[in-house]
Chains A and B, each alone.
Chain A
Amino acid sequence: MTPVSGTATTPNPTWADVNRDVIRTVSMPGDRYFAWMCLIALTLAAGVAAWAWQIWIGMGAAGKRSPQMWAMYITTFVFWIGIGHAGTLISAVLYLFRAKWRTSIYRGAEAMTVFAVMTAGLFPLIHAGRMWFAYWLMPYPNQRYLWPNFKSPLVWDVFAISTYLTISVVFFLIGLVPDIAALRDQSTGIRKQIYTVMSLGWEGSDSQWRHYRRAYGIFAAISTPLVLSVHSVVSFDFAMALVPGWHSTLFPPFFVDGAIFSGFAMVLVLILPMRYIFNWYPYIHDKHLDAMAKLILVTSLVLTYFYVCEVFTAWYSGDHFERASVFAKATKQYAWAYWGMYFCNCLTPLVFFWRRARLNTTVLYVVSIFVLIGMWLERFNIIVPGLGHDFYPYTWGTYYPTITDSTIIIGSFAWFFILFLAFIRVMPSLSIVEVKEALGHPMRDGHGAHH
Chain B
Amino acid sequence: MAPTTRMAPVNVLGIFAHADTTLRAIQGLRAKGFSDLKVYTPVPVEEIEEEMDSVRPLSKVRLFAVVGGLLGTATAFFLTIWTSLKWELITGGKAPVSIPPFIIIAFELTILFTGLSTLIAVLILGRLPQIKPSPTYDPRFSVDRFGVAVACPVEKAEAVGAMLSSAGAEEVRR
List chain A positions with a Cβ less than 8 A from chain B: 14-16, 19, 139, 145, 147-152, 155-156, 159-160, 162-163, 166-167, 170-171, 174, 177-178, 181-182, 184-186, 200-215, 218-219, 222, 225-226, 229, 233, 236, 432-434, 436-437, 441-446, 451
B21 contacts across to A, CB distance below 8 A:
444-445
Cα-based distance from A186 to B62 in the complex (angstroms): 34
Interface flag for B166 (CB, 8 Å):
no
Cα-based distance from A222 to B114 in the complex (angstroms): 8
19 extra interface residue pairs, beta carbon distance < 8 Å, beyond A219-B115, A451-B47: A15-B143, A148-B83, A151-B101, A155-B105, A170-B115, A201-B128, A202-B128, A204-B40, A204-B42, A204-B142, A205-B38, A207-B127, A209-B41, A222-B111, A434-B43, A441-B18, A442-B144, A444-B20, A444-B21
CB–CB B83/A139 < 8 A: yes
Show 14 A/B contacts (Cβ-Cβ < 8 Å), sorted by A: A16-B143, A147-B86, A151-B91, A155-B105, A163-B109, A182-B142, A201-B131, A211-B59, A215-B119, A219-B115, A436-B144, A445-B18, A445-B20, A446-B19
Interface flag for B79 (CB, 8 Å):
yes
Shortest Cβ distance from residue A100 to the other chain B in the assembled complex, whole angstroms? 14
**A16-B143, A205-B39 as given contacts; A174 in contact with B122, CB under 8 Å:** yes
CB–CB B83/A201 < 8 A: no
Contact with A along B33-61 (1 / 0, CB 8 A): 00001111111111111001100000101
Q: Which bracket fits the contact residues of B?
A: 35 or more
Cα-based distance from A15 to B79 in the complex (angstroms): 50
CB–CB B62/A182 < 8 A: no
Cα-based distance from A186 to B102 in the complex (angstroms): 50
Shortest Cβ distance from residue B16 to the other chain A in the assembled complex, whole angstroms? 9
Interface flag for B121 (CB, 8 Å):
yes
The chain B residue with its CB closest to the CB of A151 is B101
Q: Which of A181, A211, A225 contacts B61 (CB 8 A)?
A: A211
Shortest Cβ distance from residue B44 to the other chain A in the assembled complex, whole angstroms? 4
A215 contacts across to B, CB distance below 8 A:
61, 118-119, 121-122
CB–CB B79/A139 < 8 A: yes
A225 contacts across to B, CB distance below 8 A:
107, 111
CB–CB A446/B86 < 8 A: no
CB–CB B116/A166 < 8 A: yes
**A205-B134, A214-B61, A451-B46 as given contacts; A156 in contact with B111, CB under 8 Å:** no
B46 contacts across to A, CB distance below 8 A:
451
CB–CB A214/B143 < 8 A: no
A151 contacts across to B, CB distance below 8 A:
91-92, 94, 98, 101
**A150-B80, A150-B101, A166-B116 as given contacts; A201 in contact with B130, CB under 8 Å:** yes
CB–CB A209/B61 < 8 A: no
Q: Which of B49, B65, B98, B119 contacts A213 (CB 8 A)?
A: B49
Shortest 10 CB-CB contacts between residues of A and residues of B:
A201-B130, A15-B144, A185-B139, A147-B83, A441-B19, A200-B129, A182-B142, A214-B61, A444-B18, A206-B39
The chain A residue with its CB closest to the CB of B102 is A150
CB–CB B109/A159 < 8 A: yes
B65 contacts across to A, CB distance below 8 A:
218, 222
CB–CB A163/B62 < 8 A: no
Cα-based distance from A16 to B141 in the complex (angstroms): 11
Interface flag for B165 (CB, 8 Å):
no
CB–CB A182/B133 < 8 A: no
Cα-based distance from A174 to B116 in the complex (angstroms): 12
Output the residue of B83, B126, B132 with the most chain A CB within 10 A.
Answer: B126
CB–CB B86/A145 < 8 A: yes
Cα-based distance from A227 to B80 in the complex (angstroms): 23
CB–CB A186/B115 < 8 A: no
The chain B residue with its CB closest to the CB of A182 is B142
Cα-based distance from A445 to B47 in the complex (angstroms): 15
The chain A residue with its CB closest to the CB of B45 is A441
Shortest Cβ distance from residue A87 to the other chain B in the assembled complex, whole angstroms? 16
CB–CB A156/B79 < 8 A: no
Cα-based distance from A215 to B121 in the complex (angstroms): 8
B115 contacts across to A, CB distance below 8 A:
166-167, 170-171, 219, 222
The chain A residue with its CB closest to the CB of B53 is A210
CB–CB A210/B91 < 8 A: no
Output the residue of B18, B44, B121, B134 with the most chain A CB within 10 A.
Answer: B44
A156 contacts across to B, CB distance below 8 A:
101, 104-105, 108
The chain A residue with its CB closest to the CB of B81 is A150
Shortest Cβ distance from residue B49 to the other chain A in the assembled complex, whole angstroms? 6
Cα-based distance from A155 to B46 in the complex (angstroms): 43
CB–CB B142/A178 < 8 A: yes
The chain A residue with its CB closest to the CB of B90 is A151
CB–CB A150/B118 < 8 A: no
Give the residues from 118 to 167 in chain B that come closer than 8 angstroms, CB to CB, to chain A: 118-119, 121-123, 125-134, 137, 139-144
